[in-house]
Amino acid sequence: MKNDNRTFTLDELCALVEMNKRKIRFYIQKGLLQRPEGTGKGAFYTHRHLEQLLTIRKWKEAGLSLERIQEVIEDEQRLTEPTKPVPPPRTRRPGAVEVWSHLFIADGVELHIEPQRSGLSPEQIRALCKAILQEYETLTR
């Protein structure tokens, strides 16, 4: 059972989330992580900070940029319902780089999927592609 009242020093927090002090301070500076409670040598971190850092690490390992993680965190704070496992789609901006999956079905028939914006897992995308190929074969027989 988690203890929501427990507090942590910066060293303890670093050990728990397997990050160094510099990275945690950087996240605070960028606004990804809330500032510690108290000041100076009396500063401490709470279970809320631990959860924030674990969330940041989860999305960072999933390949999201810090800018995108900031957007996801802000969106999660606005939601009152439980968060989804896939982050909400990012608004498109000029100059943005996107990675698309491209399924060639036949001459003149192609499917383009932007996995992150589609909200589909890699397994779901593979299943969708397989189903579309099978359906196309059925239609063209």
Q: Confidence band (pLDDT; 50, 70, 90) for 139?
A: very high
| pTM of full prediction above 0.85 | no
The band of 138, judged by pLDDT with boundaries at 50, 70 and 90, is very high
pLDDT-based confidence at residue 1 (cuts at 50, 70, 90): very low
**Is residue 77 scored above 70 in pLDDT?**
no
Query: For 10-78, CATH number?
Result: 1.10.1660.10
Q: What is the pLDDT of residue 115?
A: 75
Q: Which of 94, 75, 96 is nearest to 86 (CA)?
A: 75
The whole-angstrom separation of Cα 14 and Cα 44 is 12
User: How far is 102 from 121, CA to CA, in rounded Å?
Assistant: 15
- pLDDT value at residue 80: 45
Element (H, E) at 102: strand 101-106
Q: Convert the pLDDT of each residue in 87-122 to its tens digit.
A: 555 667 787 777 788 889 999 999 988 877 777 777
